[in-house]
Structure 1
């Protein structure tokens, strides 16, 4: 018995890894963000989000973080040793315990010590970055030096606010007098590569390479560099000794 050959093909399909596209999912979740339990409906029990995927309202998320950092300060805990059980016990009467734990997981690293007690080490960069977003979200532009002063005063005592913490979150303009800073979140830009570049160059005709890289890093494919991406979609230039790009 012989197998019958029906034809030949000189092409094939290849499976390639791609970055996940999550903006549609986030857009759906943002239609009904979770901003805390309804007034009068919470008495220290479980969160009303059980069984559902919800995204936290940013202001509510910062409220939770404020509770945690204030407790750390009042108890004189180290930022690197924040006990989960004590946080839940102290703050559980104000907010759902699941939300307190979620906040600690988002802004800290979870680990266990010798006796099995669960601890969290708060991440200075994440806390400072979120605080900066809270300050910037209601202003079109901020005087850079004034912003840095207010920002440092707003972060928990003992943490240091640095501009490198704001990559992909805020845009500095050093060409103006005074220098300014404004909110520009990478996650708010288009997912499509060409649309992303069009959006960025509609904001600025010319970009310094260090400024644009945080906004295109996620577009890079496997083994692709931001330099290769810029070579394909922009032209290189040198301004005052610094490497820049333009359309």
Structure 2
């Protein structure tokens, strides 16, 4: 393949000869001496908004050998897809690889020009494209669930130090970056959603029984020391919990999980978080009659707090058995984050869902380019006997 044009010797050379080619000009093309498949060279097609991140080395490729790679910026995750092309895409090396050729012996010195040849080193069969995807955060949940932080970890600190050095089931931020296909911002959000805490350089989720223990101790000290629900002094609370045997990181974590910091710099307990915690603890034993559950729940709620069943949206489901209503735990945080797997599990739990029941279990799903309505159209079949009736969703 050759498109011949004669240009002065001072014209652009190599790849620049093609990049700066004028509309009415042409350049000769020839095989480079190192022409070959060059599988280490891959073309990546980018949206302009991603170009600064790539040029300034603010992107990483993540994935294990058995996973498809993803490209992550600081805030988003992109699947990397190969797309074949029907047209030939020629790769031309930089200008230092220019080949000058052509017979000029028959030309007068005044008219002599040299023909520029752009040397092709590879013919690319296609390009890699980036498609924004939701972070693959389920792996984070799986990794941190391998070794939750328990009472024994706090009691046997020396043995734990040795275990940390040898146990591959403990993960630092760097470890999670290597293993979880999510951007840094998405990974931080995932850790927050799991109520994970960094202890001695490793990210852990805290065992439910341990959280029961420290919350009950906090509430006990709240009464004992006449603390206000809405005015907890951080230093004082952490000091008292440490004296009761809880590590500083766990005491701080307790405040962050069950409270929030006010503008005045003090902490107040979050009514919903505390009430939901006790509901979860009660239902850990299994399904209960609704009336028995409500009596037990109200008995557990700290004085000064008001619990309502609306707090348990996305936490529990009910069954009607005869004339009785039973309640059981069904936590949205235990469900997969991938939409197909999420809907599959939901419809295994119930073949049909009313919208009010279904909505709390899908509103956290995030699929770039697909709205909540789009998710429902893709994964469910909607029926509505009358225009005024509540829609019912079943598996598609």
TM-score when normalising by structure 2:
0.54
SS at match of 2:238: helix
1:192, CA displacement in angstroms? 2.4
Instruction: Look up the match of 2:143.
Output: 28
CA distance in 1, matches of 2:254, 2:89: 59
Instruction: Look up the match of 1:121.
Output: 268
CA distance in 2, matches of 1:149, 1:31: 35
Correspondence 1:144 to 2:290: yes
CA distance in 1, matches of 2:137, 2:131: 20
CA distance in 1, matches of 2:315, 2:223: 27
Q: 1:7 aligns with which of 59, 81, 89?
A: 89
CA distance in 2, matches of 1:40, 1:14: 48
Instruction: Look up the match of 1:109.
Output: 260
1:135-174 correspondence to structure 2 within 5 Å:
135-139=282-286, 141-174=287-320
* Residue pair 1:170, 1:185 contacting (<8 A) in 2 also: yes
Instruction: Look up the match of 1:63.
Output: 213
CA distance in 2, matches of 1:175, 1:11: 58
1:100, CA displacement in angstroms? 0.8
CA distance in 2, matches of 1:40, 1:197: 42
Q: Decide which structure has greater strand share.
A: 2
Correspondence 1:232 to 2:232: no
1:222, CA displacement in angstroms? 4.6
Tell me which moved more, 104-113 or 219-228.
219-228
TM-score when normalising by structure 1:
0.83
CA distance in 2, matches of 1:142, 1:179: 9
CA distance in 2, matches of 1:81, 1:32: 34
1:87, CA displacement in angstroms? 0.8
CA distance in 2, matches of 1:190, 1:88: 35
1:39–1:52 Cα change, 3 Å: closer
* Residue pair 1:172, 1:180 contacting (<8 A) in 2 also: yes
1:108, CA displacement in angstroms? 0.9
CA distance in 2, matches of 1:36, 1:69: 19
Instruction: Look up the match of 1:246.
Output: 394
* Residue pair 1:152, 1:161 contacting (<8 A) in 2 also: yes
1:239–1:75 Cα change, 3 Å: farther
Write out per-residue CA displacement over residues 37-81 of structure 1, whole angstroms, 9 at most, x where no aligned residue: 558657xxxxx9412222100110121111112222223322221
Q: 1:73 aligns with which of 223, 226, 236?
A: 223
Aligned residues: 236
Q: 1:82 aligns with which of 215, 224, 232?
A: 232
SS at match of 1:168: coil
Q: Could you say what the CA RMSD is over the residues aligned between the two structures, in angstroms? A: 2.8
